Amino acid sequence: MKFDHEVLIIGGGPAGLSAALSLGRMSRTALVCDDSRPRNAASSHLNNFPTRDGIHPAEWRKLVKKDLEKYNTIGFFEGSVLSVERSGSGFIARLSSDQTFHFKKVILAYGVEDKELPIRGYKELWGKSIFHCPYCHGFEVRGSKLGLIGNGDMLMYMLPLIYDLASELIVFTNGKADLKEEQINLLNKKKIPLIEDKITDFVYEGEKLKVVILENGHKVEREALYSLPSFPYKLKSQIGEELGCEKDQFGFYKVGEKGKTSVDGVYACGDNASGAHSVLLAAASGGMAAAGVVHELLSEKLLE
């Protein structure tokens, strides 16, 4: 069978671009397909990445693509991958341009979709005064009056990180608390208020949160909030599921050390394959997946 490219990379974020860079370094042919829906589109800065701490996410992607220009084996398609099916010893993919291409391997590098809470102002403040990760957005709001929206064990897992950032912390379960007695006792011991009333509105000026308004009419002043995810995560594409890739209880693809999924020839990397979500870790994951693909491709070539 004639292949148009050796590797299809679905997703042009940190994981996909890093995978492309590793493939280019090893002179493998790949097509990066990206539909321009970066998870960090609402953020004005990207942090915790050596040499690029504080850079705008769009500028970071631009720099990586500049690095990729010297690798003529790497191509780009601006659009979606509509379907991928097994075809002989490889895969056939149909793109949103209605073109079809044949590939030997597939790297799933699309991320996850953050679920917006149905609260007025949430969308406008996401990535600006409402965050999901203290490593990505913590230093800038240290010493502020913070709120943590979440419930259950995940809330308690995140609590130490946000508690240490805040000058004053309030926990919002946004409904009835699902906490064990010892967890509530800890909140009481540390004098962390627990509010179970639902949140209806956020009052803000520009990108700055001012007030959290509760269903009972009470107003709570806060300067920033951390909003925890609900599981399972929703992925940005169903291609992996359609191919038969297994997922875990959190909605991530089950992968091996180098990103290999349960489906032969299919790898996954970045936010869709791990709960550790950051640009740095996604990029590292993409590099590992590419290494797995390269080894598989060259081992097959040696045995031809």
What is the model's pLDDT at position 230? 85
The per-residue pLDDT for 215 is 96
CA geometry: angle at 22 spanning 68 and 25, to 5°? 70
Give the pLDDT confidence score for residue 304 in this predicted structure.
Answer: 86
Q: Are residues 262 and 126 in the same domain?
A: no
Alpha-carbon span 292 to 304, nearest angstrom: 19
Residues 170 and 85 in one domain: no
105, 253: one domain:
yes
Q: Looking at the structure, tell me whether residues 65 and 23 fall in a common domain.
A: yes
pLDDT tens readout for residues 46-79: 999 999 999 999 999 999 999 999 999 999 999 9
User: Alpha-carbon distance 165 to 288, whole Å?
Assistant: 33
Q: How far, in whole angstroms, is CA 108 from its chain's centroid?
A: 13
Cβ-contact 50, 5 below 8 angstroms: no
The reply to whether 214 and 238 lie within a common domain is no
pLDDT in tens, 149-168: 999 999 999 999 999 999 99
Q: What phi and psi, each to the nearest 5 degrees, are found at residue 96?
A: -70, -15
Boundary-marking domain end, from 173, 208, 227: 227
What's the confidence (pLDDT) of residue 245? 98
Q: Same structural domain for residues 107 and 11?
A: yes
Residues 103 and 134 in one domain: no
Q: Which runs of E-coded beta strand occur in 17-62?
A: 30-34
State whether 186 and 222 are in the same domain: yes
pLDDT of residue 206: 93
Structural domain boundaries, residue 186: 122-227
| Boundary residue ending a domain (227, 249, 276) | 227
Whether 217 and 236 share a structural domain: no
**Start-to-end CA span in the chain (Å):** 13
Domain harbouring 159, CATH code: 3.50.50.60
What mean pLDDT is predicted for residues 98-105?
Answer: 97
- Among 173, 206, 227, which residue terminates a domain? 227
Whether residue 170 is found in the same domain as residue 183: yes
Selected residue with higher pLDDT from 130 and 2: 130
pLDDT(1) > 80: no
Round to whole Å and give the CA distance between 109 and 102: 18
Residue type, 258: K
Q: Does one domain contain both 105 and 246?
A: yes
> For the chain, how many structural domains are there in total?
2
Residues 189-240 pLDDT 10s: 999 999 999 999 999 999 999 999 999 999 999 999 999 998 899 999 999 9
Are 84 and 152 contained in the same domain? no
